[in-house]
Amino acid sequence: MDATAILRGGVYVLRAGGRAVYVGKARCMLNMIHAHRKGARRGVPAWSPVPPIVFDAVEVHPEHPDRVDALLARLTDELQPSWVPFQFPAPVVPQITRRL
């Protein structure tokens, strides 16, 4: 894999002891992976959106922004990570009806 892949956007998998503990997405995976590691070492405030996760290996999957959500859903379903973030429900879009 290209070493610059971690600088691009996509999906990353954090593993501990070979087991997936977290699957996340980011525009720059290196920044998010660093934030998880830093939070696990020092602790993070309760309001932080980045959970502190202890991990020993990382997989990166660079992906086009249009396909990141589909890849995230597929990997989360396949790997069944032990830490799953709260998923906001999809926004409800009102239907616009047109009268003739």
Q: What CATH code is carried by the domain that includes residue 65?
A: 3.40.1440.10
> In this predicted structure, what is the pLDDT of residue 32?
87
Determine if residue 18 is left, alpha or beta; phi over 0 gives left, psi from -120 to 50 gives alpha, anything else beta. Answer: left
φ/ψ (deg, to 5) at 15: -120, 150
Q: How far is Cα 100 from Cα 10, in angstroms, rounded to an integer?
A: 45
Q: Is residue 92 in some structural domain?
A: no
Q: Is residue 100 in some structural domain?
A: no
> In this predicted structure, what is the pLDDT of residue 35?
84
Q: Is residue 95 in some structural domain?
A: no
Six-digit token string for 56: 């020993």
Q: 10 with 62: CB under 8 angstroms?
A: yes
Instruction: Give the pLDDT means over successive 10-residue stretches in the chain (100 positions).
Output: 73 93 91 81 64 86 91 93 67 65
Into how many domains does the chain fold? 1
Name, in order, each residue with C-beta under 8 angstroms of 45's C-beta and a sequence gap of 6 or more: none
Domain extent at residue 75: 3-79
Q: Is residue 59 in some structural domain?
A: yes
- Residue 60: closest CA among 23, 88, 89: 23
Q: Is residue 38 in some structural domain?
A: yes
